[in-house]
Structure 1
Amino acid sequence: MDNDGQLELYTAVAAQLKEAHARVRALQVPEGVRMALTRKLLVITAAAKHDLAAATRRLERFTADLDEGRIPEEEA
Structure 2
Amino acid sequence: MDDRPDVTSAPAEGPDDQEVVALYALVAERLKQAHARVHALNVSADAKTALTRQLLIVTETAKRDLPEAARRLSRFVHDLDEGPPPLD
TM-score normalized by structure 2? 0.78
Aligned partner of 1:15: which letter? E
Q: Which has the higher helix share?
A: 1
Inter-partner Cα distance in structure 1 for 2:67 and 2:31: 14
Task: Give the % identical residues.
Answer: 52
1:11 aligns with 2:25: yes
Question: Which portions of structure 1, spanning 4 or more consecutive aligned residues, are displaced by more than 3 angstroms?
Answer: none
Task: Tell me the CA shift for residue 60 of structure 1.
Answer: 0.4
Aligned partner of 1:37: which letter? L
Inter-partner Cα distance in structure 2 for 1:8 and 1:65: 24
Q: Which runs of 5+ in 1 are unaligned?
A: none
Q: Partner of 2:30: helix, strand, or coil? A: helix
2:13 counterpart residue number: none
Number of residues of Structure 1 aligned to a counterpart in Structure 2? 73
TM-score normalized by structure 1? 0.90
Q: Which runs of 5+ in 2 are unaligned?
A: 1-15
| Residue of structure 1 aligned with 2:62, choices 48, 57, 68 | 48
Task: Tell me the CA shift for residue 70 of structure 1.
Answer: 4.8
1:29 counterpart residue number: 43
User: Higher Cα Rg: structure 1 or 2?
Assistant: 2
| Residue of structure 1 aligned with 2:79, choices 61, 65, 72 | 65
Inter-partner Cα distance in structure 2 for 1:56 and 1:44: 8
